[in-house]
């Protein structure tokens, strides 16, 4: 069992709020991702779980026991750092073995456990090397092996993939998820990359400026965003957000007019529409100048300029149009999200 | 919209347009300056030449002079060539061998103490928010003139017997400590003076080395369950090894040539018990006026120092790299 609860967690540095009012329950064996832009408090939250940082206020509870004030070395958490943090003076083997030595695990078990962990991350051939002689991906895997070797109470991963190239990142994502499922260890994973969050998480916690914006499964976060921040942060390219006025079920902004929206709402609103819910058509809601066209092979991203707003549209892979010409786009009214213009909160 | 932005900017910016048009108007002769190759090659040597010439005058010339002199019998009168006789005499001179032994003994004990103390202090202070203050406080002994420190210790332990007095007042001993008549106590005073003055040198270097250590690595080790001491022993110390070796080598060279303290505090006594090589050379040259013999001793010492320093540094760096 490994259930972690954060109750009213605050972290202040002088007048600066690093983390405020975080309430969160991490379930046993769950893969939880803390997602947000840099400076949103996600790493601080994780460091407080690790015990590397003490909350200014609030309680951290592990299996019903408050662990505030318990030193990092006594919490039995394993962490994978962004910079890998391997011990440069030791070989990979010694690196992986280090936590076993420090935790007084009988030396007779060491060799088997180190080799099993190394095998799990496909690092068996490199055990004699020092970290300096490894590639970035291998270092990352060595750090991962060091974390899994002692089968800790909880895994913490602080942007472990951000120093890898795109292809390697995709491979490591799959591997990390596989290992987590196999070992069934509660995992907290910090990232600013929404694709990592979507692909890895059982649940995502979206954070901004030290506060939680939304907690939910990847599907909930994607299809049912709580506010404009979440809507604009998730998705690649992200959701189009256009401010305008809603009256009698009709939304109007510069160059855009959409009918058929709920007529019980009104006033200044922001509408959100995902690029994949827009289609290029002869007749539609928006006609504007083509500002950009990015063919990627399997899909073509079309950028339209309406007033000072840029609208992203996912078009067919064969769609081509010269820059500066005009295009017309239709939205699926059922897939339009409405947000309050002042607060950014979702209107339902 | 970065594309449109930059295009507009360059269209509107008159200076950008001016540069673009002015370039072709330049005579087609050449855009690139060609420098004199010979000058380029010799210029660095030219820059260091004054320092090199100066250094040669004050070190190389006396060095060569001493080596030459070591093959002669020199006592005021004309030089008399005697081949390796001075060196042969050194090998059988119990005072010279004693001085070698004393230098080694005093030097190694003093160095070991300094290293341990400096490491301990550095490890306890390097993440301290007041480290700047600590550094200044610990630096103070190093700022004293060595001869002044020597006189202080002479006063405290020998002439004014401050140390003895304190021990008597505390009731630990009954009579004055006869430091001057005890070889070991005299050596201890020399060691103490050196440790007091030069531990800060090592401390400052060690603090710098520790501060350069990746903090993430320390945090990783903490999460792996290591105590502060285990982090120090398993990670910091091995990583600091090359720095420690270089710093200790520098100190060792300094201690080997220890002179001021011996000259002022003990004068090599009692019974040559604290006579270091430097003091032996001084005594032979400037008291017995046996210049050729003194030069031979200096040459031997120089060779020993170079050999020891070379092997130590080489070893440390090879093993740190592999």
Quick one: tokens of A271?
Answer: 């509408």
- Distance (Å) from the C-alpha of residue B320 to the closest C-alpha of chain A? 8
Kindly determine whether residue B238 and residue A85, on different chains, have CB atoms separated by under 8 Å: no
Please tell me the predicted confidence (pLDDT) of residue A166. 86
Judging contacts by C-beta atoms under 8 Å, the chain A residues touching residue B219 are 52, 72, 79, 81, 85
Judging contacts by C-beta atoms under 8 Å, the chain B residues touching residue A81 are 216, 219-220
Residue A74 has pLDDT above 50, yes or no: yes
Chain segment B144-202, per-residue pLDDT in tens: 888 899 999 988 888 878 888 888 888 888 887 778 888 888 899 999 999 999 999 99
Kindly determine whether residue A79 and residue B219, on different chains, have CB atoms separated by under 8 Å: yes
Task: Note whether A97 contacts B: Cβ–Cβ < 8 A.
Answer: no
**Average pLDDT, integer, range B92-99:** 90
Q: Enumerate the domain spans of chain B.
A: 85-321
Q: Which listed CATH number (3.40.50.11540, 1.10.3720.10, 1.10.10.10, 3.90.180.10) goes with B85-321?
A: 1.10.3720.10
Judging contacts by C-beta atoms under 8 Å, the chain A residues touching residue B224 are 73, 78, 98-99, 102-103, 146
Kindly determine whether residue A89 and residue B239, on different chains, have CB atoms separated by under 8 Å: yes
Please tell me the predicted confidence (pLDDT) of residue B49. 93
Residue B14 has pLDDT above 50, yes or no: no
* Least confident window among A115-119, A212-216, A262-266: A262-266
Please tell me the predicted confidence (pLDDT) of residue B5. 42
Residue A267 has pLDDT above 90, yes or no: no
Provide the 3-class DSSP secondary structure of residue A318. Answer: coil
What Å distances lie between residue B26 and B14, B30, B31, B33, B35, CA to CA?
A: 19, 9, 8, 14, 20
> Which residues 6+ apart lie within 8 Å of B148 measured at CB?
none
Please tell me the predicted confidence (pLDDT) of residue B289. 87
Please tell me the predicted confidence (pLDDT) of residue B21. 47
The beta-carbon neighbor of B220 closest among A81, A291, A305 is A81
Residue B81 has pLDDT above 60, yes or no: yes
- Distance (Å) from the C-alpha of residue B64 to the closest C-alpha of chain A? 44
B203 confidence band (pLDDT: 50, 70, 90)? very high
Question: How far apart, in Å, do the first and last CA atoms of chain B sit?
Answer: 52
Provide the 3-class DSSP secondary structure of residue A322. Answer: coil
**Average pLDDT, integer, range A287-313:** 90
Kindly determine whether residue A52 and residue B238, on different chains, have CB atoms separated by under 8 Å: no
Instruction: Give the number of other Cβ atoms within 10 Å of residue B154's Cβ.
Output: 17
Task: Find, in chain B, the residue whose alpha carbon is nearest to that of A291.
Answer: B1
Distance CA B243, CA A165 (A): 35
Please tell me the predicted confidence (pLDDT) of residue A1. 67
Please tell me the predicted confidence (pLDDT) of residue B319. 56
SS3 sequence of chain B: CHHHHHHHHHHHCHHHHHHHHHHHHCCCCCCCCCCCHHHHHHHHHHHHHHHHHHHHHHHHHHHHHHHHHCCEECCCCCCEECCCHHHHHHHHCHHHHHHHHHHHHHHHHHHHHHHHHHHHHHHHHCCCCCHHHHHHHHHHHHHCCHHHHHHHHHHHHHHCCHHHHHHHHCCCCCCCCCHHHCHHHHHHHHHHHHHHHHHHHHHHHHHHHHHCCCHHHHHHHHHCCCCHHHHHHHHHHHHHHHHHHHHHHHHHHHHHCCCHHHHHHHCCCCCCCCCCHHHHHHHHHHCCCCHHHHHHHHHHHHHHHHHHHHHHHHHHHHHHHC
The DSSP letter of residue A70 is -
Residue A318 has pLDDT above 70, yes or no: yes
Quick one: tokens of A182?
Answer: 């196999």
Quick one: tokens of B235?
Answer: 């990670």
Residue A339 has pLDDT above 50, yes or no: yes
CATH code: domain A4-232 is: 3.40.50.300
Residue A348 has pLDDT above 60, yes or no: yes
Cβ atoms A158, A147 nearer than 8 A:
no
Q: Which residue of B223, B234, B242, B322 is the best one to mutate when testing the A interface, meaning the one whose CB has the most A CBs within 10 A?
A: B223
Same fold, A4-232 and A237-347: no
Query: Considering Cα of B32, then B36, then B38, then B40, what sign does the dihedral take?
Result: negative
Quick one: tokens of A25?
Answer: 């329950």
* Least confident window among B46-60, B152-166, B223-237, B295-309: B152-166
**Average pLDDT, integer, range B245-273:** 86
Average model confidence (pLDDT) for chain A? Answer: 90
* CATH fold for domain A237-347: OB fold (Dihydrolipoamide Acetyltransferase, E2P) (2.40.50)
Residue B322 has pLDDT above 60, yes or no: no
Distance CA B226, CA A179 (A): 25
Quick one: tokens of A102?
Answer: 């420090």
Cβ atoms A134, A93 nearer than 8 A:
no
A263 confidence band (pLDDT: 50, 70, 90)? confident
Kindly determine whether residue B221 and residue A72, on different chains, have CB atoms separated by under 8 Å: no
- Distance (Å) from the C-alpha of residue B197 to the closest C-alpha of chain A? 32
- Distance (Å) from the C-alpha of residue A265 to the closest C-alpha of chain B? 33
Chain segment A324-335, per-residue pLDDT in tens: 888 899 888 888
Distance CA A142, CA A124 (A): 10
Please tell me the predicted confidence (pLDDT) of residue A158. 92
Kindly determine whether residue B219 and residue A73, on different chains, have CB atoms separated by under 8 Å: no
Kindly determine whether residue B235 and residue A83, on different chains, have CB atoms separated by under 8 Å: no
Average model confidence (pLDDT) for chain B? Answer: 84
Judging contacts by C-beta atoms under 8 Å, the chain B residues touching residue A102 are 221, 224-226, 230
- Distance (Å) from the C-alpha of residue B254 to the closest C-alpha of chain A? 30
Please tell me the predicted confidence (pLDDT) of residue A127. 92
Kindly determine whether residue B216 and residue A83, on different chains, have CB atoms separated by under 8 Å: yes
Chain segment A79-110, per-residue pLDDT in tens: 999 888 999 989 999 999 999 999 888 999 99
Please tell me the predicted confidence (pLDDT) of residue A256. 84
Angle between helices B277-286 and B94-125 (to 10 degrees): 140
Percent of chain A past pLDDT 90, that is, above it, reads 57
How would you classify the pairing of strands A186-191 and A31-35?
A: parallel
Tell me which of A165 and A190 has the higher pLDDT: A190
A236 confidence band (pLDDT: 50, 70, 90)? confident
Cα–Cα nearest to A33, from A232, A227, A176, A130: A176
Chain segment B110-154, per-residue pLDDT in tens: 999 999 999 999 998 888 888 888 888 888 888 888 889 999 998
How would you classify the pairing of strands A154-158 and A186-191?
A: parallel
Please tell me the predicted confidence (pLDDT) of residue A260. 80
Task: Find, in chain A, the residue whose alpha carbon is nearest to that of B223.
Answer: A73
Q: Enumerate the domain spans of chain A.
A: 4-232, 237-347
- Distance (Å) from the C-alpha of residue B225 to the closest C-alpha of chain A? 4
Judging contacts by C-beta atoms under 8 Å, the chain A residues touching residue B244 are none
Judging contacts by C-beta atoms under 8 Å, the chain A residues touching residue B216 are 81-83, 85
Kindly determine whether residue B221 and residue A87, on different chains, have CB atoms separated by under 8 Å: yes
Chain segment B17-39, per-residue pLDDT in tens: 444 444 555 555 678 877 788 88
Please tell me the predicted confidence (pLDDT) of residue B183. 86
Residue B8 has pLDDT above 80, yes or no: no
- Distance (Å) from the C-alpha of residue A343 to the closest C-alpha of chain B? 27
Tell me which of B20 and A344 has the higher pLDDT: A344
Sequential DSSP letters for A84-134: ----TTS-HHHHHHHHHHHTT--HHHHHHHHHHHHHHTT-GGGTTS-GGGS
- Distance (Å) from the C-alpha of residue B217 to the closest C-alpha of chain A? 5
The beta-carbon neighbor of A88 closest among B227, B230, B239 is B239
């Amino acid at each position: 069992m490994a259930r972690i609860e954060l109750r009213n967690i605050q972290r202040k540095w002088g007048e600066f709020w690093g983390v405020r009012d975080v309430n969160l329950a991490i379930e046993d064996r769950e893969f939880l991702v803390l997602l947000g832009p840099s400076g949103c408090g996600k790493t601080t939250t994780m460091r407080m779980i690790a015990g590397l940082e003490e909350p200014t206020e609030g309680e951290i509870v592990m299996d019903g026991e408050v662990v505030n004030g318990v030193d990092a070395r006594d919490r039995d958490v394993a962490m994978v750092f962004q910079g890998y943090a391997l011990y440069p003076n030791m070989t990979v083997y010694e690196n992986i073995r280090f936590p076993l030595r420090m935790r007084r695990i009988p030396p007779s078990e060491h060799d088997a456990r180190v080799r099993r962990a190394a095998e799990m991350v496909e690092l068996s051939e490199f055990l004699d090397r020092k970290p300096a002689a490894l590639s970035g991906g291998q270092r990352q895997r060595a750090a991962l092996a060091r974390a899994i070797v002692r089968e800790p109470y909880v895994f913490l991963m602080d942007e472990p993939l951000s120093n890898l190239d795109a292809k390697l990142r995709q491979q490591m994502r799959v591997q990390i998820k596989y290992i987590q499922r196999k070992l069934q260890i509660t995992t907290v994973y910090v990232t600013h990359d929404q694709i990592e969050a979507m692909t890895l998480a059982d649940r995502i916690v979206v954070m901004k400026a030290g506060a939680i914006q939304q907690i939910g499964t990847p599907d909930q976060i994607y299809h049912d965003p709580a506010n404009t921040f979440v809507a604009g942060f998730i998705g690649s390219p992200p959701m189009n957000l256009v401010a305008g006025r809603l009256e009698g079920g009709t939304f109007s902004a510069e160059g855009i007019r959409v009918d058929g929206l709920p007529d019980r709402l009104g006033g200044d609103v922001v509408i959100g529409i995902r690029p994949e819910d827009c289609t290029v058509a002869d007749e539609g809601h928006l006609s504007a100048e083509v500002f950009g066209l990015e063919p990627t092979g399997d899909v073509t991203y079309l950028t339209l300029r309406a007033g000072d707003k840029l609208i992203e549209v996912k078009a067919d892979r064969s769609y081509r149009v010269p820059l500066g010409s005009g295009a017309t786009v239709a939205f699926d009214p059922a897939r339009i999200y409405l947000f309050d213009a002042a607060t950014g909160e979702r209107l339902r | 919209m970065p594309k449109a932005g930059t295009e507009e900017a360059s269209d509107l910016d008159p200076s950008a347009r001016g540069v673009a048009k002015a370039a072709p108007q330049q005579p087609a002769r050449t855009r690139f300056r060609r420098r004199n190759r010979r000058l380029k090659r010799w210029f660095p040597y030219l820059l260091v030449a004054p320092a090199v010439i100066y250094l040669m005058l004050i070190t190389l010339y006396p060095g060569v002079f001493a080596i030459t002199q070591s093959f002669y019998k020199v006592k005021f009168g004309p030089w008399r060539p005697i081949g390796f006789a001075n060196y042969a005499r050194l090998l059988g001179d119990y005072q010279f061998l004693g001085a070698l032994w004393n230098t080694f003994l005093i030097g190694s004990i003093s160095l070991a103490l300094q290293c341990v103390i400096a490491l301990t202090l550095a490890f306890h202070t390097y993440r301290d928010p007041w480290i700047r203050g600590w550094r200044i406080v610990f630096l103070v002994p190093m700022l004293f003139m060595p001869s002044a420190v020597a006189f202080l210790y002479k006063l405290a332990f020998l002439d004014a017997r401050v140390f003895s007095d304190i021990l008597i007042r505390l009731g630990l001993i009954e009579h004055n400590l006869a430091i001057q008549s005890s070889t070991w106590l005299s050596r201890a005073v020399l060691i103490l003076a050196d440790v007091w003055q030069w531990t800060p040198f090592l401390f400052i270097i060690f603090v710098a080395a520790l501060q350069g250590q990746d903090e993430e690595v320390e945090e990783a080790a903490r999460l792996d369950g290591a105590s502060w001491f285990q982090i120090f022993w398993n990670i910091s110390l091995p990583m600091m090894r090359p720095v420690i070796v270089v710093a200790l080598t520098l100190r060792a060279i300094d201690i080997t040539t220890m002179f001021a303290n011996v000259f002022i505090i003990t004068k090599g006594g009692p019974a040559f018990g604290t006579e270091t090589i430097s003091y032996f050379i001084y005594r032979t040259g400037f008291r017995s006026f046996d210049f050729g013999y003194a030069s031979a001793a200096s040459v031997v010492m120089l060779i020993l120092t170079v050999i020891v320093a070379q092997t130590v540094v080489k070893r440390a760096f090879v093993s740190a790299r592999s």
